[in-house]
Chain A
Amino acid sequence: MELAAAKMIGAGLACIALVGAGIGIGNVFGSYLSGALRNPGAAATQTTNLLLGFALCEATGLFGLVIALIILFT
């Protein structure tokens, strides 16, 4: 198989990591929403944890995307 074709396939496979990121981020925001609708007064105190959880979740997905970009472009 040529190198260019293998690179494309490798990059595509590495992007499967973003599935986990999508599920995780949906989970984080869904839990925040259901908690905030039960107890609106306490919702504001958890925005820090919300944004922190979102960023940590997104980061693991982006680690996979970085591998895809490295495979594709170097």
Chain B
Amino acid sequence: MAAAMAPMEQFAVKPLVEHPLFHLFGHAIYFTNQALWMFIVVGAISAFMMAAVSKRSLVPSRLQSMAEISYEFVNNMINSAAGDEGLKFFPFVFTIFMFVLFCNVLGILPGSFTVTSQIAVTFALAAFIILLVIATGFMRHGIGFLKLFVPKAPFVLLLLLVPIEIISFFTRPISLSVRLFANMLAGHTMLKVFAAFVIMLGGAGGILAFLSIAPFALIVAITALELLVAFLQAYVFAILTCIYLGEAINLHDHH
């Protein structure tokens, strides 16, 4: 057989510059490939948005209408999940949505590094979101925010329901972060494994080299699926953020 498969090497965070940039609390901070790709993502989003709104024509051009569509998309998302009060969080949700979307999509490029395939990055985002939800809830409702854990039910059921509600609230950041991380990890690992199959079959010679077209076709199909999953996971991350914020803002009243 050819060389062993190493599909997880693409997720290694490597420093790009030999010397650490500075030291923080005893840890050396390096400029890594992850940091480089985060800069690239932010640069791409900024370039796209600034180029799109540079000419404010009433009848939008293609680029401007793409920016307007993404604006309206996030606006409708917040409106349906959190109501009018939630629109105050529009810059936050828009940033989260665009960051996760561009990170996911740019990670499909061959040779790139998928920032959201690191649990550190997704957990940082999810932890920040949950802290924001808790802070919003307490600032808006004071101690009454704890009524979120008490649904309308007879008292005997409440003895069982309240611990379940509390536990499910605190597993939200874990599920939010692991969902995004696992989707990105699984997709890219699958692509690398099929690529290894293509190399192995191609190197075997004879009829097997001809058969290597099959995993190659699969790679093309799975890349298309990965593009869909990238968009879907960004959408789900953003809509769950809106739902959690909506719960903190209007506790149990639904419109």
Residues of B within 8 A of A69 (CB): 8, 185-186, 189
Across the interface, A55 reaches (CB within 8 A) one of B7, B80, B178, B236, namely B236
Contact A62 B80 (CB under 8 A): no
CB distance from B50 to the nearest CB of A (A): 30
Residues of B within 8 A of A59 (CB): 175, 178-179, 182-183
Interface string of A43-74 (1 = CB under 8 A from B): 00000100110111011001101100100010
Contact A51 B236 (CB under 8 A): yes
Contact A63 B178 (CB under 8 A): yes
Residues of A within 8 A of B145 (CB): none
Contact B239 A48 (CB under 8 A): yes
Residues of A within 8 A of B7 (CB): 73
- Decide yes or no whether B181 CB sits under 8 A from chain A: yes
Main SS at interface, chain B: helix
Interface residues of B in 176-199 (CB under 8 A from A): 178-179, 181-183, 185-186, 189
CB distance from A73 to the nearest CB of B (A): 5
Residues of A within 8 A of B178 (CB): 59, 62-63, 66
Residues of A within 8 A of B97 (CB): none
Q: A58-B179, A59-B178 are in contact. List 12 more A-B contacts (CB 8 A).
A: A48-B80, A51-B232, A51-B236, A55-B236, A59-B182, A62-B182, A63-B178, A66-B178, A66-B181, A66-B185, A66-B186, A69-B186
Shortest Cβ-Cβ A-B pairs, 4 listed: A62-B182, A59-B179, A55-B236, A73-B8
